[in-house]
Structures are given as C-alpha cells and as structure tokens.
A and B are shown apart, each in its own frame.
Chain A
C-alpha cells in the first residue's frame, strides 16, 4: 500500500491549487490523475477569470452579479468569501508567472463578460485556462509534489464512515493499488460527457462525483446544468469573450434578437438566458440550418487576431469559416455542471476525510446558473481553501491502515468486466444513447413527461450496462476498460440529474420547466441533496444562505 497524508484526485486547476496549498502547509501530499496534468479539462477554459480589481469595481458588485446570476440559489456566505478573496488569488497567479494581458499602464487588463455589470474578467488572449494550467503545473514541479500520472481512481476506501484513501489503477500496467490517505481531496472536474453533445473534454466523465456519491457523500444542485450559448457544430466551444469583445448574435433575418429577451444586457445577459433565447429562435424557424450566427466581423481583423486567435483558428478548422469575413454558425451545448459534491466553505464534504473543490464540488457559488469567468476563479479560491483545510485535518487523524483485501476485491470486480463476452451491445452505444437522452429530455427545456421518459431510458441503460463487456482484454493501457468504468460513473450521475430535475417543480436559472415556467421562492428557495442508496437514490434539502441580497425578479 502507498500512503500519503493528503491524496488529491484530479490535476486540473482546483486539484493542483489544493495540492500546492497543502504542500505549503508542510504535509505530505500526492496528486493522482487519469491524464497528465496539462491535459486536464481546465485547459479548455478560454475567456477568463473574474475578480474585482478595477478602481470603480468592488467585491460586493461582483458578489451581487454572482448572486443574481445564480437566480438567488447560490449560498451568499460562500459567494462573499469567493468574491472578497478573488483579487488576492489573481495577484498570486500573476506572481507565479501568468502572462495576463495588460492595459496600457502595465496593469492586468479586464474584459466584459456575461451577467457582469463591470468589465472584471482577467484573461490571456483566449487561452486563459491553458496558461493557468501550465503555470500551476510548473509550480507543482517546483514544489516537488508527487504526481501519479495516468492513474484511474476506481473507488474510495471507507472505514467507519470516514474516507481513508482510494483504490486506483495504473493505466500503463493495469495494476491496481491501494492508496491510504488521512484525507482525500476530490478535484476531478466536470461531468459534461453525460450529455451529447457537450463542450467538455472526453475525459470529463464525473468520476469524482460518482465515487463520492457511492461512498455516501451527498450531491447537491445536480439539476442545474449549464448550456453555453456559443458552441460549434460538434460541441467545440467559442468563448464568451467573443461577445465580451462585442460580437453580435444574429438570427436568419439578420436581427440582433437578444433585444427581445434581454434589452439591457443584450448578448451579455447570463448564459441560461442567452441559450434559451437562441434555442427559441431556432425552434421558431429563425435559425440558419439549425444554428444562430455569431458575428465578429465589425471587430476587425486586428482585434480578432490579437484577442481571439484560438477562436479564429477553431472556426477555420471546424466550421470552415474565417470569422474575419463571415459570421460563425453556433448553437447552445451542454457546458458545465453547477452541482456536485456538497461541501462547506472549507471544501469539507458530508463525509469525514473527504474534501472536494472545483467543478466536481458544490460549495455553492453558482447556484442555478454560473457566470462566465467564475469557474476558473472557483478552482483557485476554493482549491486553495480546501488544500489548507485538508492539511489542518491531517493533524486530527491517525494514519490509515488499509486492508490489502480491498485490492483483490476491486480486482475481481474489474476482472468480471473483462471476462464478459463481447456481445452485440457496446459501451459506445450505451454512452451515446445516454447522452442523447439527457440532451433531449434533461436539457434546456424540461417537462415532467420528458423527465419520466429519461428516467425510464436511464434505468434500461443501467440494466444493459451490467451486461456489456469490452473487446480489449489487455492490461496495458486498456482505454476500453476505462471507458467502461467511466460509463458506470456517468450513468449514476445521469440518474441523479434527471431525478433532481423532476423533483424541482419550478424554473430557476438553468432549470427551465415548460410545465412550471415560474420561479417559486416560497417552495423552492432551497437546494436538493441526493444521497446514494443501493435500492435507489434518496432526496434531502439544504437551506440557501442569504446574507444581504434578498431575492428579486431577475431581468437582464
């Protein structure tokens, strides 16, 4: 058995930031990740990271925008911490070497973003996530943190109700290994691939949420799934920074249709509002072959190439469109999970010894709808806080003494999958049917009937999943086995999302129920928490923290 004080699972921004902080506190920390750290999904974040740095801006304004963006479901105690600590974290990232784009006077530049009353999104052209991810990886190298690269966590080790480590498989050898830990920090990112299409990387399969859920940690706000307004044909993302820099959204008549839906903020209304507006235009016959047009032409060649080079290149590669001369066809696509492992403001989950940070966690600063630029911020603010809290927790517990029998038991489970005959059904087929079901019935517009259809379909897929095998029987780098295990994780999460969506009989933020189109604060100003049980998931509620902003009607 390998053992560490702190085991961080996942090496995106939140995981690496947490590891770095725990290391600074002097504990023995290791990071375990299924891909090399710089391959993590954080690298896909393009547009930027929010903080009230400007002279006329304030953390209170940032907090209000976040609360309003969340449709008043975000916990205001978390949001206050989030926005108050943001500037310090941005400055620290700059001191680590991040090459933030600058103003004339050499200070960090900020661009406007959706749902924000002030230009407070710091950026590095349109590759913000990539640059931050590499900087943090390099910090981890400098700090000498042990990284188990290309290891896949298969389950958490639980002892008397507390988390004492994880079982994981080295992808390169197929070898299973127990990792004892005084505390585990889950930082595995999003679950986007539960949907098809999605803007998320193929690796965003919600592994951490599923492992924590099965171990007994509650999942909160799972019904809130964000659809990004501007994705290319195959779900590839076009940054909100494009609209932040002034791009228009046009329908087939050439109208800036956002006028009808958000006359004040127009293209920069919050994402849930813009995505629903686009889909409405498309559904009512004012789309262009099922797409909306994102028009950058008036920004001019120079600005496009300087501020949005990656977008220019992606539109050329994928849509075959030169954004300097032509509008880009885009449509909404699943982008982000507001929900995740329920934590407090220190990252502690409902289970002793299990912490979580980043997209896999739900702290909850995003509530029913996240603002652009707030997800990167969440990774660093709550990654740091969680790393520090976990390091403190280490002092309070004795070392784990993990039984090696767990390894052989887990080995048997995996052997069963490998030994199944390769029948007519396949992991890829189940995965596709799951994704399409979620997109159709648990997407931007929901009804009870549709949600029941989804629940029935998911139950069928779960049954099929129990029988499905893989062709590849090898041990070394068996990606088919990984896809199989990931699918099992995603099916559990899909079920939780559909269940929460059906239970919440109102419309709020990203959850829009055609059969309950109004927000209902009297009944539903509360979080839904889902707990796993072998016989089927159970539901619970958690109150919303309101410190200084009473719910109001939300207009953009």
Chain B
C-alpha cells in the first residue's frame, strides 16, 4: 500500500528551525509507523533522526505523537490510521524539549522518575529466603511495573501542557503520570516500608493532587498501566494515612462532607 507521512523536522545545526517534510512511499500492508520511518531512512533520507530498538513495544524508545496523540511507533499500524491512504502526521512527544527531529530531550522525565525514589525501602534486613507475599498482590503490581517509561503519558498530560504553556520551569512542574505510577508501584508493594514518607512527599505541591483527572494518560498508555488510576490509589492511601492537610486533600474531604450532609454537591 502507499503510505504518506508528514514528519516534523528540526535540526539544531542547520539553522532552519522547525519545518514539516512529507514522504510518500510504497510499504507492506502490515507496516507500522516505525517500519515506515525506518524505510524512509533506508531509501529516501538517512538524516531523519529517531530512537528505536526492540520493535516489539517493550523498550519504550519510539514514543512519538502520531496524528496528534502519543503512541509507540512500533505498535501503530499505518493501515489502522489511514485506511484510505490519508497522510499521517508524525511529531516528537509533547511536554519535552526536542534534540533533533523525533528525538525528545527526556532529561526532565528521568529526573522526575528519580525524584520518587524508585527503589525498595524495606524495614530492616531482608529474610534469608524471599519475602512471602501473596500471588494476587504481585500480580496486581505486575500491571503497574509493566510501565516501560516510554513517556507517552507525560507527552499528553494536560496539566504539564498548561504549566509549561504558562512558562513554568520544567523542574517545577507536576511530577507527571509516569513518575507517580512508579511511586505507586513501591507504595503498593507490601515489602516496602517507606510509604509514610513517600505519601507525605507526594502529597506536596506538584504531586498527586495536581492531577486534573483528564484521563489522557490512561488513553495513550501503550501498556495498560493506567497511570491516573495509580494516582487516585495514591490519593486514597494518603488520606487514609492522615496526609489530609494539603489543598487537594482538603478539597476532596470537603466534597465528601457536603455530599454526606446534604446529598448535594
């Protein structure tokens, strides 16, 4: 079939600024957007820069905006987006800087992931053998650790879009869905003993209460991690643990009180 791609180009060395370039080429019916980008590189233009590696939706390298929505290029079939040969728009992920073409600057993304201290903090030395934990709990956590840190959720997060749009420095913006899902992965882990500290830290500004529940992160996540659901789980745990003096928590509790007392919202 014929594929038409319109790709956002940017090369900091050229001085040309951002522009869009269109490519038309014959591709196999089953081609993914990544297949097509690689074919462009091989046949037409090897200067088109992108990250990719596994081609099987597990390494997280090739998140980009395709027709305006963050997706993994290797998991997106061209045919599904352009059954009648429509042009497909390909741009780098949003809410991050761009190094070149489709290669995003993910520094702030990794800094935020690091900020939630994503490592197990148990209470005391470990047992001699493995920790005994129920299969069901591990299974539920497996759905969260399935996050491949591709950045799709951060790309399309509307809170970040607003904050960055208002000129907030990236390191002072919302921690974002990926980092918070990562945080839940440890708060929800029965082997971790630091949830009090974690929940206190996450309840502050730029944390769990900044999410506006637009659900975009859930929609664009290619691995079904549902980051917003993990953020809501963190909120419930934070309130349960008594971290309720923060604006978002007080807001939530007031709503609950009003509904209880008057049946009205």
Identify the A interface with B (CB < 8 A). Answer: 35-36, 38-41, 43-44, 90-91, 94-97, 99-109, 124-125, 127, 130-131, 134, 138-139, 141-142, 172, 201-203, 233-234, 236-237, 306, 310, 313-314, 317-318, 320, 426-428, 470-472, 474-480, 483
Contact = CB atoms under 8 A, between A and B. Distances in A.
B13 A125 contact: no
A314 B186 CA distance: 28
B81 interface: no
Contacts of A474: 11, 13-14, 47, 100
Contacts of B120: 95-97
Contacts of B99: 172, 476-477
Nearest to A479: B49
Contacts of A127: 58, 142, 145-146
B58 A471 contact: no
Contacts of A428: 41-43, 46
Contacts of A477: 49, 99-101, 103
Contacts of B262: none
Interface string B146-170: 1011000000000000000000000
Which 5 pairs across A and B sit closest by C-beta, in order of nearness? A97-B120, A106-B132, A472-B47, A102-B135, A428-B42
Interface string B55-75: 111111100000000000001
B257 interface: no
B19 interface: no
Nearest to B132: A106
Contacts of B138: 99-102
A394 B116 CA distance: 34
B29 to A, nearest CB: 10
B51 to A, nearest CB: 8
Given A91-B129, A106-B134, A476 B59 contact: no
B119 A139 contact: yes
Given A201-B53, A202-B53, A474-B47, A91 B130 contact: yes
Q: Which of A105, A233, A476, A478 has the most chain B CB within a 10 Å cutoff?
A: A476
B55 A101 contact: no
A203 B119 contact: no
A475 B139 CA distance: 45
Q: Which of A40, A107, A470 has the most chain B CB within a 10 Å cutoff?
A: A107
A131 B149 CA distance: 12
Interface in B152-198: 186, 189, 191-192
A237 B191 contact: no
Nearest to B109: A36
Interface string B27-59: 000100000000001110111011111111111
A479 B57 CA distance: 20
A43 B129 CA distance: 26
Contact of B56 (A38, A95, A236): A236
Given A102-B134, A103-B135, A203 B145 contact: no
Interface in B63-113: 75, 77, 99-101, 103, 106, 110
Contacts, number: 159
Given A43-B59, A102-B135, A97 B191 contact: yes
A476 B53 contact: no
B114 interface: yes
Contacts of A35: 51, 53, 59, 61
Interface string B111-136: 00010011110100010011111110
A44 B59 contact: yes
Given A97-B189, A102-B135, A201 B145 contact: no
B56 A41 contact: no
Contacts of B58: 43-44, 127, 130, 310
Nearest to B110: A36
B95 to A, nearest CB: 18
B141 interface: yes
Nearest to A139: B119
B56 A314 contact: yes
Contacts of B133: 102, 106
29 contacts: A38-B60, A38-B149, A39-B51, A41-B54, A43-B58, A95-B130, A97-B119, A97-B186, A99-B142, A99-B145, A101-B135, A101-B142, A109-B135, A127-B142, A130-B58, A134-B145, A138-B119, A172-B99, A202-B52, A202-B54, A236-B55, A313-B57, A427-B46, A428-B41, A471-B47, A472-B46, A475-B13, A477-B49, A477-B99
A195 to B, nearest CB: 15
B56 to A, nearest CB: 5
B242 interface: no
Given A134-B145, A474-B100, 20 more contacts: A35-B51, A36-B110, A38-B148, A38-B149, A91-B130, A97-B119, A97-B191, A101-B135, A101-B138, A102-B138, A107-B132, A127-B58, A131-B145, A142-B119, A172-B99, A203-B53, A237-B56, A426-B46, A474-B13, A476-B11
B13 A108 contact: no
Given A101-B138, A106-B132, A474-B47, A39 B56 contact: no
Contacts of A234: 55
A476 B142 contact: no
Q: Which of B55, B75, B139 has the most chain A CB within a 10 Å cutoff?
A: B55
Contacts of A91: 129-130
Contacts of B132: 105-107
B114 A101 contact: no
Contacts of A99: 138, 141-142, 145, 189
Q: Which of B117, B145, B189 has the most chain A CB within a 10 Å cutoff?
A: B145
A472 B149 CA distance: 29
A314 B57 contact: yes
Given A95-B131, A477-B49, A480-B46, A141 B60 contact: no
A201 B54 contact: yes
Nearest to A429: B42
A169 to B, nearest CB: 15
A39 B58 CA distance: 8
Nearest to B72: A317
B107 to A, nearest CB: 9
B14 to A, nearest CB: 8
Contacts of B130: 90-91, 94-95, 100, 107-108
Contacts of B131: 94-95, 106
Nearest to B102: A477
A471 B46 contact: yes
Nearest to A149: B110
Contacts of B117: 142
Nearest to A320: B30
A71 B6 CA distance: 53
Contacts of A470: 46
A471 B134 contact: no
Nearest to B45: A471
A282 to B, nearest CB: 21
A39 B75 contact: no
